[in-house]
Amino acid sequence: MEYQRRTFLKLLGVGGAVTLLPVGLARAGTTPSPEDRAVYISASAGDDGTYYVSAFNASGKILFEQPLPGRGHDIGLRPNHVDVAAVERRPGLYGLILDRHTGDVRAKLHCPEDRRFYGHAIYSNDGRYLYITENDFDHARGVVSVWDAEDGYRRVAEFDSFGTGPHELHLMPGGDHLVIANGGLHTHPDQDGRTPLNISSMEPNLSIIDRRTGKLVHQAALKHDWHKLSIRHLDVAANGTIAAGFQYQGDLTDQVPLVGLWQPGSDIRPIEAPDTVQYRMRQYCGSVRFDASGQVFGISCPRGGLVTFWDANTQDFLTHIAAPDGCGLAATDRAGEFVGTSGLGNGWRMDAIRRKRVELPDDSLKSQHWDNHLRRIIA
Amino acid sequence: MLFTFSRRTLLLSTTTVLAFGLISPAAQADIPDTDYQPVLAHLLGTVMPPKLDEFHDATKELTAEFKDFCNDPDAGGLEDTQSAFHAAMDIWQEIQPWRMGPLVANGRDQHIEYWPDKHGTAARQFRKLMFDKPSAYTDPEKLSGASAALQGFPALEEVLFAGDHGDQMIAADEDGVFLCQYGTAIATNLGTLSGELQDEWPAFATAMENAGPDSMDYPTAKFAATDLYRALHEGLLIISSQKLARPLGDSAEDARAGRAESPLAERSLRNIEHNLIGLFAIYDGKWGEVGEEGKGLADLIDNSLLDRSFRLNWQTVEDTFAELPPSVAEVLEQSDGYATLSDFKGQIDFLTMLVENDVGGNTQLGGGFNALDGD
């Protein structure tokens, strides 16, 4: 493991020890860097059952809290625009378009009666179209809806996701294709909308579709023995490598991979951590994020209270850092560095290369329970 | 029987609701991190090490018995070896639910006991082994690099209890000689694995006990103690979802004793009895003659009524258990066996619920916002 880390440092051209300081201290008196201007945004919850989209700065100071009608999940960022999209977690009915600086509501999206939002949304690179994963629950079919941001967020199209229970989706490099994690789980609002109804027959997959036509371009699934690995979250590196995190629906003691790498056109390559870490991942990955270099990716495991870090080039496990109830992950502008948030109210700056964790200094962050996903914006 | 369980469940539930109602976790102040430290020190530093010693001694005794038996095989020797198997298995089943650190490192728990074997890997490989009789499998060191399915307790169970293996070993025919050598290698390998557990545990325990903000593994004592809570919770889940649900199947017609743990040694329920001893030690802090009552997770529960209620409920399960024979097969042979076993599973599920609500809530170890309800 030590060898791996040393090799990795060399690859990145990083030599001596670098102290991981809170951003305000590390950069005091210097020209504001991108990280000084960074804003982190996430769904959150208060102690009293209220839900928000909240934003904080690099020190952890809360910038705004916008109440939501129900629990949010991920935030979609409109490129070169103030809009961000907060879509209710599954089985969601609302979507709100908010001003990223103030949290003010700029538009509202309503899910059709026979669909339910699944918490994730992504914009096209030109910012015109918003894509949202949805459940066509009467047909146990996943769909991706298309909303025109330049036409008052009118719902203009709907594509097949080519699987059941679509969850996170991302644009592929170039912006023409969408990759979708079809978790494989069928749920129905009549049965609370969250309880899986098809575990014995679930068939998760990763699908890539043309975002303009909805045509299937690539698809891959894990081998049948692992069909209970719900493929839920993913991120895409600039070179097109897709990292995915799984959530296992089988037994606690089953030995299954929880992380996969996919180069479209080939098979999904499962990768595992050493046993003691793999076990502590508790069969559940919460969020996936590539770092600024595109070589390291982090996968949070809130049930095990840790964030795992991996090298996409060598396809090796790098290290892990304890993060009680940690789930949200966003990459900073430094290679190997992430900001993470927890449901207990913590925010950390984490360095995967030097295995360091520093708590964000501003305590206002602790007033919220931070939800699954975290996004970073440069203000 | 089902009616009996329903009535009992209702009574237990009422007790719990009464107890729980008096102290809602939401109303509790945060438990100071320093309160978790003595629990960690007691369970990991005082209670577990002697039990690992006991396990190691039991595997050494098993190896010695196997060697004695194979040197001069007879029915008495077989019986003694089987007894040594049971003794080693008893203490393993108590340790098994403490799934953390050295127990799971390098797949060690699976090497000690590869179960459940969902694809019948062990039986398939064992048949091939008996056909080829490769000498590598009689060498403990080489065996340690072999398939997990062929190197732990289930493989040893096959050697000692399956079909006519005992007779073959006593007869010392070609198969019998191989079985003897292979069985001795398995027992020796179990001794090595239990020795590794003994050796690695102190460093793991120290890391847990020294939890603090500078640790990348255990930033708080509370976070470290979460592993103990999870062991208690998941141990009960595994009893219900694997050790009982697998043989029960979907219906009485679908029930199969062969899907239970340790079916050949006819000790599937005896395993659960010992699981419950190890699990209760996490809560109570006393494990046989080791440890001290009230110094486990119970030490964190500042509510004597709730503590008494939990202990009473646990005792009720143990009382039910005391009336059951040692194997699932024997229970299922009874006319109301399926209902009896289903009833017992229901009681384990009820205990699981109490652990989630009462123990998890009042020790504040039950998990956070994302861990409990993520997406």
Across the range A347-363, mean pLDDT stands at 97
Q: Tokens at residue A281, please?
A: 């991942």
Mutation target among A89, A325, A355, A371 for the B interface, most CBs of B within 10 A: A325
Please write the tens of the pLDDT for every residue from A218-233.
Answer: 999 999 999 999 999 9
Instruction: Give the sheet arrangement for strand A229-236, strand by strand.
Output: A229-236, A242-248, A259-262, A268-271
Residue A361 has pLDDT above 70, yes or no: yes
Residue A264 has pLDDT above 50, yes or no: yes
Asked if B85 and B229 sit in the same domain, the reply is no
Asked if B220 and B300 sit in the same domain, the reply is yes
Burial class (CB in 10 A: 0-12, 13-18, 19+), B288: middle
Contact indicator for B248, B255 with CB cutoff of 8 Å: yes
Cα A367 from Cα A374, distance rounded (Å): 16
Across the range A308-326, mean pLDDT stands at 97
Q: In the block, which residue shows the tokens 């929880």?
A: A258
Contact indicator for A300, A340 with CB cutoff of 8 Å: yes
Phi and psi at B185, nearest 5°, equal -65, -40
SS3 A252: coil
pLDDT for residue A275: 93
Nearest CA in chain A to B212: A322
Contact indicator for A107, B363 with CB cutoff of 8 Å: no
Assess if residue B48 is contained within a domain: no
What residues in A contact B230, CB-CB < 8 Å?
A: 282
Asked if B251 and B354 sit in the same domain, the reply is yes
Asked if B15 and B81 sit in the same domain, the reply is no
pLDDT for residue A4: 54
Kindly state the DSSP code that residue B31 receives in the 8-state scheme.
Answer: P
What residues in B contact A357, CB-CB < 8 Å?
A: 216, 219
Sign of the four-CA dihedral A134, A137, A141, A147:
negative
Asked if B190 and B231 sit in the same domain, the reply is no
Cα three-residue angle A53-A341-B24, rounded to 5 degrees: 85
Minimum-distance CB partner of B374 among A305, A319, A372: A372
Domain tally for chain B? 2
Q: Do B374 and A369 touch (CB under 8 A)?
A: no
Tell me the CA distances in angstroms from B284 to A378, B122, B244, B313, one per residue in order.
Answer: 52, 36, 24, 13
Minimum-distance CB partner of B370 among A253, A343, A356: A343
Residue B5 has pLDDT above 60, yes or no: no
Burial class (CB in 10 A: 0-12, 13-18, 19+), B248: buried
Nearest CA in chain B to A369: B369
Q: Do A344 and B368 touch (CB under 8 A)?
A: yes
Q: Do A357 and B216 touch (CB under 8 A)?
A: yes
Cα three-residue angle B341-B342-B344, rounded to 5 degrees: 65
Assess if residue B120 is contained within a domain: yes
Which of residues B167, B200, B233 is at a domain's end? B200
Least confident of A124-138, B23-37, B119-133, B271-285: B23-37
Please write the tens of the pLDDT for every residue from B344-373.
Answer: 999 999 999 999 999 999 999 998 899 999
pLDDT for residue A33: 84
pLDDT band of residue B13 (cuts 50, 70, 90) is: very low
Tell me the CA distances in angstroms from B74 to A153, B59, B277, one per residue in order.
Answer: 84, 21, 34
User: What one-letter code names the amino acid at A148?
Assistant: D
Cα three-residue angle B95-B98-B104, rounded to 5 degrees: 100
DSSP A74-140: -EEE-TTSSEEEEEPPSSB-EEEEEETTT--EEEEEE--TT-EEEEEEEE-TTS-EEEEEEEEGGGT
Asked if B332 and B351 sit in the same domain, the reply is yes
Q: Tokens at residue B273, please?
A: 């009895």
Asked if B248 and B318 sit in the same domain, the reply is yes
Please write the tens of the pLDDT for every residue from B96-109.
Answer: 999 999 999 999 99
Q: Do B104 and A276 touch (CB under 8 A)?
A: yes
Quote the distance between the C-alpha of residue B304 and its chain's center. Answer: 28
Nearest CA in chain A to B102: A276
What residues in A contact B100, CB-CB < 8 Å?
A: 279
The ipTM of this complex is: 0.89
What's the length of chain A?
379
Minimum-distance CB partner of B104 among A167, A279, A359: A279
Nearest CA in chain B to A280: B100
B106 touches chain A (CB under 8 A): yes
Assess if residue B370 is contained within a domain: no
Cα A33 from Cα A23, distance rounded (Å): 10
User: What is the helix, strand, coil percentage profile of chain A, to 5?
Assistant: 10, 45, 45
Asked if B217 and B325 sit in the same domain, the reply is yes
Cα A160 from Cα A144, distance rounded (Å): 6
Comparing CA positions, the residue from B112, B175, B164, B170 lying closest to residue B138 is B175
Asked if B177 and B239 sit in the same domain, the reply is no
Minimum-distance CB partner of B219 among A89, A319, A324: A324
Residue B20 has pLDDT above 60, yes or no: no
Nearest CA in chain A to B240: A251
Q: Between residues 227 and 246 of chain B, which touch chain A (CB distance below 8 Å)?
A: 230, 234, 237-238, 241-242
Mean pLDDT rounded to a whole number for chain B = 92
Nearest CA in chain A to B220: A324
Which of residues B180, B200, B220 is at a domain's end? B200
Assess if residue B170 is contained within a domain: yes
pLDDT band of residue A294 (cuts 50, 70, 90) is: very high
Assess if residue B205 is contained within a domain: no
Nearest CA in chain B to A323: B219
B374 touches chain A (CB under 8 A): yes
Residue A118 has pLDDT above 80, yes or no: yes
Cα B34 from Cα B160, distance rounded (Å): 49
pLDDT top residue among A39 and B1: A39
pLDDT for residue A23: 52
User: What is the helix, strand, coil percentage profile of chain B, to 5?
Assistant: 75, 0, 25
pLDDT top residue among A28 and B230: B230
Q: Tokens at residue A81, please?
A: 């625009």
Across the range A23-43, mean pLDDT stands at 76
pLDDT band of residue A29 (cuts 50, 70, 90) is: low
pLDDT for residue A31: 73
Nearest CA in chain B to A252: B238
Cα B92 from Cα B95, distance rounded (Å): 5
Assess if residue B50 is contained within a domain: no
What residues in A contact B242, CB-CB < 8 Å?
A: 251, 253
Nearest CA in chain A to B246: A251
pLDDT band of residue A14 (cuts 50, 70, 90) is: very low
Contact indicator for A329, A290 with CB cutoff of 8 Å: no
Instruction: Give the sheet arrangement for strand A316-322, strand by strand.
Output: A287-290, A296-301, A306-311, A316-322
Please write the tens of the pLDDT for every residue from B187-202.
Answer: 999 999 999 999 999 9
Cα three-residue angle A312-A313-A319, rounded to 5 degrees: 55
What residues in B contact A282, CB-CB < 8 Å?
A: 230
B97 touches chain A (CB under 8 A): no
What residues in A contact B237, CB-CB < 8 Å?
A: 252
pLDDT for residue B119: 87
pLDDT for residue A306: 97
What residues are paired with A68 via a beta bridge?
Answer: A51
Helix axes B221-238, B337-354, angle to 10 degrees: 170
B369 touches chain A (CB under 8 A): yes
Contact indicator for B276, B321 with CB cutoff of 8 Å: yes
Question: Could you list the residue range(s) of the whole structural domain that residue B179 is in?
Answer: 57-106+115-200
Residue B14 has pLDDT above 50, yes or no: no
Asked if B214 and B358 sit in the same domain, the reply is yes
Please write the tens of the pLDDT for every residue from B70-98.
Answer: 999 999 999 999 999 999 999 999 999 99
Burial class (CB in 10 A: 0-12, 13-18, 19+), A61: middle
B216 touches chain A (CB under 8 A): yes
Closest Cα of chain B to A357: distance in Å?
Answer: 7
Asked if B196 and B215 sit in the same domain, the reply is no
SS3 B371: helix
Cα A247 from Cα A270, distance rounded (Å): 13
Kindly state the DSSP code that residue B19 receives in the 8-state scheme.
Answer: H
Asked if B82 and B190 sit in the same domain, the reply is yes
Strands (E), A125-189: 129-136, 141-148, 154-160, 166-171, 177-182
B107 touches chain A (CB under 8 A): yes
What residues in A contact B223, CB-CB < 8 Å?
A: 305, 322, 324
B135 touches chain A (CB under 8 A): no
Cα B23 from Cα B362, distance rounded (Å): 8
Across the range B321-348, mean pLDDT stands at 96
Which of residues B147, B171, B200 is at a domain's end? B200
Contact indicator for A36, A58 with CB cutoff of 8 Å: yes
Q: Please give the interface size between A and B, counted as residue pairs whose CB atoms are below 8 Å apart.
A: 91
